[in-house]
Structure 1
Amino acid sequence: MPEYKGMVQPVRASEADLKKIFVTPVPDDKKPELALKYLDDIRKKFRSFVMAMESCVKCGQCAENCHTYLGTRDPNNIPTNRAELIRKIYKRYFTLEGRWFGKLVGAEDINLDVIESWYSYYYQCSQCRRCAYVCPFGIDTCEVTFIGRQILHWLGIVPKLHAGVGNAMGRVGNHTNLPKPGIIDTLEFLAEDAAEEFGVEFEFPVDQPADIMYIPSSADFLLNPYTLVGAGMFFHYIGAKWTIPSTVTEAGNFGLLFDQYYTQRSNVTRLLNAAFELGIKKIVWGECGHGWRAAKMYIPSLADRPLSIPITHVHEEIAQLIRTNQLKLDPSKNPYPVTLHDPCNYVRACGLCDDMRVLMNASVADFREMTPNRQKNFCCGGGSAILFDDPEMYQRRIQLSAKKAEQVRETGAKILCAPCSICKAQLYPMVEEHELGVEVKGLVDLVGKALVWK
């Protein structure tokens, strides 16, 4: 039996939880056989997966570039070793040398212990893709992690957190189980607060026919209200005819993180139904890293109808108006030193580096870059929703944030700008546990505060 000394596991979804997301648990004695079948299907479909299985030379370049390994020093969290957990099975069953020589060439039989190791280490990987950025062969271990999680989902092995948010999204259109009356009440309350604090009176339109449909993160209703207020003030400032759909108050798509076949596709269908029903001409995405990646890169291929509506990010919309001098901002309204955390899916998947800095330079008086930054920046440690609250996994989350905490401390900043709701959810406890003494804010928060009203 192999030993995985650093193995920790998030709490699993119960059988009742799994049924809510249309998953049938597989008996233990059937899991190895089915896992092998699913792996065979995937290798035949995705050439990128075969490349990841057959091209790695174990150069070790990824090790010191992985925040998970740097935080835990667990050898199985080195990206190449994490991929090896599935590669050794691939070798055993799908290569000649593996079938002939077995363990002599690093091959291993599939069994429950191996599947358990997938669950542990593939849910410690935050899928930040920094390893792909430094790999001399361009191997994207994140894609291996995605595939491992998908196979686990088919086997009925899903974290309780992911199953819970998947079920909530299917029922009410957001991850926090907030129904339409709660959405409307919260938005009315935030509008009243904005009028009192900023002297700006506006409304959050809900389910109104409009030109622009804004998709916020559901966390903005509960944890990051100034991000939602900032977006509302921005749309009011430019005189947009906009709305928020009550059926999709969630920028994130957890299907990308554990089930890309059914859950992610059903969320896309829900979004497009709302857009067509309201006569929308443009969809603008809110601050969510993986949500924006899922929207930009996957919606066109997952849409159940021809996609004629452009989809942009709120940062892109604001940056364009700043560049054309159509948005007046006063950076002195944000006088404290601010540093910017680059959400992994923005900078290594979606090319938002420059736009974020256009917003930062126009909105704050003292912008301090982290080292390294942009595509080379380190993950916060919470990417792909590694936000588990059970004690063992919570401590692992804090370990995974060690490199980010070091980066923030070196800037001397007082405000840590994190333009992603999952990043914020990870950074709030990171700031406390590492005693950084900084305040976490969204980028749209800073823009809203810096607006100069006529």
Structure 2
Amino acid sequence: MPTYKDMVQPVRATDADMKKIHIDPVPDDQKCEKAIEYLDLMRKKFRSFVLAMESCVKCGACAENCHTYLGTKDPRNIPANRAELVRKIYKRYFTLEGRWLGKLVGAEDISLDVLEEWYSYFYQCSECRRCAMACPFGIDTCEVTMAVRQILHWLGIVPKLHAGVGAAMEKVGNHTGLPKPGIVDTLEFLSEEIMDEFGVEVNFPVDKPDSDILYVPSSADYLLNPYTLMGAGMYFTYIGANWTIPSTVSEAGNFGLLFDQMFTQRHNVTRLLDAAQNLGIKKIVWGECGHGWRAAKMYIPSLADRPVPWPITHIHDEVAYHVRTNQLKLDPNKVGHPTTLHDPCNYSRACDLQENLRTVIKACVADFREMYPNKERTFCCGGGSAILFDDPEMYQRRIQLSAKKAELVRATGVGANGDGYLCAPCSICKAQLYPMVEEHELGVEVKGLIDLVGKALVWK
């Protein structure tokens, strides 16, 4: 069985990176003691974590349901075995049998090597939660991953990507560090692109007071997914919405959910509520980001520092409503490509969006082909929870993690003639799937769902 030293690991943040997100790394000679202190905090705070520590019987049902294990074939990536990396420490310090019998009952002392194992393996888990669907006890190993990542963050052990994103969010309100002038310039450019390609005049208002709708896109839509942002602008223009994009929180994603729920996630929520209050809006509409929507839908009310009087909905829900009420005229023949749908994990297993995704895509696409398994049984793209590290070795690991999804896409046949679409209605899924479809030679082009709405709209 390989050890953590045999595993590729994401690039770690430096001390300077950590200070940008207000974390002073714990010295090595104190890390183990502090890790036990933080583990005790998680044990006392989260019953779901204790359930995972004390109820797993290692039946193995999770193994064939984990894309990470299927892609790497590393036995420590079986969800039950990954949790065991923490469970053996939990047993040693928080159970009678572990304190008395030690290794005889699978308990182990904490060490720096153990912490390195945690860092390596819990940043290969994408928090997709498919293992919870298979577990006969309903154990959600994602809860273990979230707890361990939080502990590692407190110790000052964080991937450089996550630390950089946390700092950028605090500084300017989006993952990419794009300031307001850059946001405005990009949106003006997209307006010109829409006019050139679709012959439609669309303006993107920024910080417009007294708007009815506050639209929060993914910052990736300014750079990597322009047709998603263009499609959103076309949709809001089509329905005559009074809407705006806030420059201070131009980011649907919330990486705090993925490594630091105690500060970074809460900070992002505060920025959002400040923008909504200052602009006098009536509704918040979320853009295409799976983990960001999960963080918004499930956690804003509990993390907010004030009452939240505004309804918070997702753009896919909004578009589905207008489709069902015949307020959008869409011509599916305008999207002349066979198309399949990737169900993002957070949408399907946490946010109940799967049916609205289908309401929209079937209205936009003439040749729609389901991928199986789908909906709440979907397999992760392999990039969930921002496992999007670009160093060469970890890039290859990402391609391994996408192997199961590639197999399922190929089975739909949409890429047989090299002209298919893979609809990925989540910005992190898109970032993972862009290289995945090339590396696995799937013959498809990755599109967002709102991209297809923009293409299929019939203007009066």
TM-score (normalised: structure 1): 0.99
Do structure 1's residue 350 and structure 2's residue 351 form an aligned pair?
Answer: yes
Structure 2 equivalent of residue 366 of structure 1 = 367
Q: The residue matched to 1:214 in structure 2 has which SS?
A: strand
Residue-by-residue CA offset, 1:268-289 (whole Å, 9 max, x unaligned)? 0001100000001100000000
Structure 2 equivalent of residue 403 of structure 1 = 404
Q: The residue matched to 1:82 in structure 2 has which SS?
A: helix
- Supply the distance in 2 between the matched residues of 1:15 and 1:49 (Cα, whole angstroms): 29
- Supply the distance in 2 between the matched residues of 1:320 and 1:3 (Cα, whole angstroms): 51
Conserved? CA contact 1:347–1:374, under 8 Å: yes
Following superposition, the deviation at residue 5 of structure 1 comes to 6.0
Q: The residue matched to 1:348 in structure 2 has which SS?
A: helix
Letter in 1 for 2:336: P
Structure 2 equivalent of residue 449 of structure 1 = 455
Give unmatched runs, 5+ long, in structure 2. 415-419
Structure 2 equivalent of residue 310 of structure 1 = 311
Letter in 2 for 1:212: I
Conserved? CA contact 1:13–1:163, under 8 Å: yes
Conserved? CA contact 1:6–1:74, under 8 Å: no
What aligned pairs does 1:269-348 form with structure 2 within 5 A after superposition?
Answer: 269-348=270-349
Conserved? CA contact 2:166–2:264, under 8 Å: yes
- Supply the distance in 2 between the matched residues of 1:446 and 1:265 (Cα, whole angstroms): 33
Q: The residue matched to 2:214 in structure 1 has which SS?
A: strand
- Supply the distance in 1 between the matched residues of 2:6 and 2:388 (Cα, whole angstroms): 18
Conserved? CA contact 2:339–2:368, under 8 Å: yes
Letter in 1 for 2:191: A
Do structure 1's residue 8 and structure 2's residue 12 form an aligned pair?
Answer: no
Residue-by-residue CA offset, 1:375-433 (whole Å, 9 max, x unaligned)? 11100000000000011111100100000111111111110000000000000110111
Conserved? CA contact 1:91–1:107, under 8 Å: yes
- Supply the distance in 2 between the matched residues of 1:6 and 1:383 (Cα, whole angstroms): 23
Do structure 1's residue 223 and structure 2's residue 224 form an aligned pair?
Answer: yes
Deviates more, 1:324-333 or 1:149-158: 324-333
- Supply the distance in 1 between the matched residues of 2:285 and 2:132 (Cα, whole angstroms): 28
Structure 2 equivalent of residue 163 of structure 1 = 163
- Supply the distance in 2 between the matched residues of 1:194 and 1:45 (Cα, whole angstroms): 50
- Supply the distance in 2 between the matched residues of 1:4 and 1:258 (Cα, whole angstroms): 20
- Supply the distance in 1 between the matched residues of 2:3 and 2:249 (Cα, whole angstroms): 44
Structure 2 equivalent of residue 179 of structure 1 = 179
- Supply the distance in 1 between the matched residues of 2:265 and 2:193 (Cα, whole angstroms): 35
Conserved? CA contact 1:328–1:452, under 8 Å: yes
Following superposition, the deviation at residue 196 of structure 1 comes to 1.1
Conserved? CA contact 1:7–1:117, under 8 Å: no
Conserved? CA contact 2:4–2:120, under 8 Å: no
Do structure 1's residue 431 and structure 2's residue 437 form an aligned pair?
Answer: yes
Letter in 2 for 1:3: T
Letter in 2 for 1:167: A
Structure 1 equivalent of residue 426 of structure 2 = 420
Residue-by-residue CA offset, 1:185-212 (whole Å, 9 max, x unaligned)? 1000101110111111010000002010
Letter in 2 for 1:69: Y
Q: The residue matched to 1:170 in structure 2 has which SS?
A: helix
Q: The residue matched to 2:25 in structure 1 has which SS?
A: coil
Letter in 1 for 2:215: Y
Q: The residue matched to 1:284 in structure 2 has which SS?
A: strand
Following superposition, the deviation at residue 47 of structure 1 comes to 1.1
Q: The residue matched to 2:24 in structure 1 has which SS?
A: coil
TM-score (normalised: structure 2): 0.98
Deviates more, 1:76-85 or 1:94-103: 94-103
Residue-by-residue CA offset, 1:345-379 (whole Å, 9 max, x unaligned)? 00000000100000011000011111111111100
- Supply the distance in 1 between the matched residues of 2:121 and 2:394 (Cα, whole angstroms): 12
Letter in 2 for 1:67: H
What aligned pairs does 1:376-387 form with structure 2 within 5 A after superposition?
Answer: 376-387=377-388
Structure 1 equivalent of residue 199 of structure 2 = 199
- Supply the distance in 2 between the matched residues of 1:443 and 1:411 (Cα, whole angstroms): 18
- Supply the distance in 1 between the matched residues of 2:371 and 2:59 (Cα, whole angstroms): 27
What aligned pairs does 1:231-242 form with structure 2 within 5 A after superposition?
Answer: 231-242=232-243
Give unmatched runs, 5+ long, in structure 1. none
Structure 1 equivalent of residue 84 of structure 2 = 84
Following superposition, the deviation at residue 435 of structure 1 comes to 1.0
- Supply the distance in 2 between the matched residues of 1:49 and 1:315 (Cα, whole angstroms): 32
Conserved? CA contact 2:4–2:116, under 8 Å: no
